[in-house]
């Protein structure tokens, strides 16, 4: 029902992920900006669990073989139908038309929901593409086709989430905060590195001071874990994070959602979360 005309640099199928399989070495994956995907699904009458598409910075273009209703949320971008700009989050696409989500002008990731959802086969209960383990459907490529499920009904849409250029993230310290001068984490400002991805958000700024030398055996890591590699620059694990890691974790971010739309160079500050 959908043919990919322009896949963009990284467009993937995402839903709310597959939590509960860390003991098997499987990340939770899922949409990085879950409120944006939930809103898009609600706008077209899908349940919150329906799969949509997550674009990265440069959008994508799709041809629809039948008339459909779609919603585009998340990053701000110009949306066109057959090269004509359209306004609003909810769009009725005629049969045979091409919908083009353009370059993000604010934020990073746009979310496309189609009434009925993207009907690819689930893997371990989720249709999400996992870029680390390779589970789920492949990222979009030229000429790929995607099925559309049957339209049902969903909850009303939630509020629009604003995209910010400066983020203040709450962090619960531990389990290895005693390996660092932990107060430095809250007194420094960091910039989002351009090498960030769905696995983790790399930060650049003042290196954290190690107060305890040595190496750790690999330990379990969770969504939002702030790992500190040998260079002292924090790395915040996102949806496709590994389930174990060998560098010490100074703390865990309570909500990583804002990082989904953080462009390279955006400022990140931390506050202690109790």
Give per-residue pLDDT as tens, 245-273: 999 999 999 999 999 999 999 999 999 98
Q: What is the pLDDT of residue 85?
A: 98
> What is the chain's mean pLDDT, rounded?
95
Q: Which two tokens stand for residue 5?
A: 């005309």
Q: How confident is the model at residue 154 (pLDDT cuts 50, 70, 90)?
A: low
Number of Cβ atoms within 10 Å of the Cβ of 215 = 8
Q: Which two tokens stand for residue 71?
A: 């919603």
Q: Which of 261, 143, 264 is nearest to 203 (CA)?
A: 264
Q: What is the mean pLDDT of residues 208-231?
A: 95
Phi, psi values for residue 39, rounded to 5°? -65, -45
Q: Which of 104, 155, 141, 162 is nearest to 2 (CA)?
A: 141
Q: What is the pLDDT of residue 79?
A: 98
Q: Which two tokens stand for residue 238?
A: 């996102």
Q: Do 2-146 and 166-272 agree at the fold level? A: no
In percent, how much of the chain has pLDDT > 70? 99
Q: Which CATH number fits domain 166-272: 3.20.20.70, 2.40.100.10, 1.20.1260.10, 2.40.110.10?
A: 2.40.100.10
What contacts 266, CB < 8 A, 6 or more positions away?
A: 164, 165, 166, 167, 191, 192
pTM of the predicted model, to two decimals?
0.94
Q: What is the pLDDT of residue 155?
A: 67
The residue assigned the tokens 């962090």 is: 171
* Domain range summary for the chain, segments of one domain joined by +: 2-146, 166-272
**144 sits in which H/E element:** none
Q: What is the pLDDT of residues 54-107, one digit of tens each?
A: 999 999 999 999 999 999 999 999 999 999 999 999 999 999 999 999 999 999
Q: Which two tokens stand for residue 205?
A: 């700024």
Q: Which CATH class is domain 2-146?
A: mainly beta
CA torsion angle 15 20 26 27 (round to 10) = 50
Q: What is the pLDDT of residues 40-53, one digit of tens each?
A: 999 999 999 999 99
The residue assigned the tokens 């949509």 is: 52
Length of the chain counted residue by residue: 274
């Amino acid at each position: 029902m959908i043919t990919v005309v322009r896949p963009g640099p990284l467009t993937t199928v995402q839903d709310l992920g597959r939590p509960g399989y860390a003991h098997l070495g499987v990340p939770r994956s899922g949409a990085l900006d879950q409120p944006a995907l939930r809103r898009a699904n609600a706008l077209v009458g899908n349940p919150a669990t329906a799969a949509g598409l997550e674009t990265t910075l440069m959008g994508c273009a799709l041809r629809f073989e039948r008339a459909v209703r779609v919603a585009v949320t998340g990053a701000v971008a110009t949306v066109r139908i057959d090269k004509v700009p359209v306004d609003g989050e909810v769009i009725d696409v005629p049969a045979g038309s091409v919908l083009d989500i353009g370059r993000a002008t604010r934020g990073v990731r746009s979310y496309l929901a189609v009434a009925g959802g993207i009907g690819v086969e689930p893997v371990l209960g989720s249709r999400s593409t996992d870029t680390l383990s390779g589970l789920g459907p492949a990222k979009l490529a030229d000429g790929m086709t995607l099925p559309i499920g049957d339209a049902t009904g969903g909850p009303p849409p939630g509020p629009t989430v604003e995209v910010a250029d400066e983020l203040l993230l709450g962090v619960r310290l531990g389990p290895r905060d005693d390996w660092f001068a932990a107060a430095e984490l809250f007194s420094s400002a960091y910039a989002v590195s351009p090498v960030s991805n769905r696995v983790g958000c790399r930060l650049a700024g003042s290196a954290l001071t190690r107060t305890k030398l040595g190496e750790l055996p690999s330990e379990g890591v969770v969504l939002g874990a702030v790992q500190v590699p040998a260079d002292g620059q924090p790395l915040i694990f996102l949806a496709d994070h590994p389930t174990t890691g060998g560098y010490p974790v100074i703390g865990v971010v309570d909500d990583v959602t804002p990082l989904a739309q953080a462009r390279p160079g955006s400022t990140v500050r931390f506050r202690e979360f109790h």
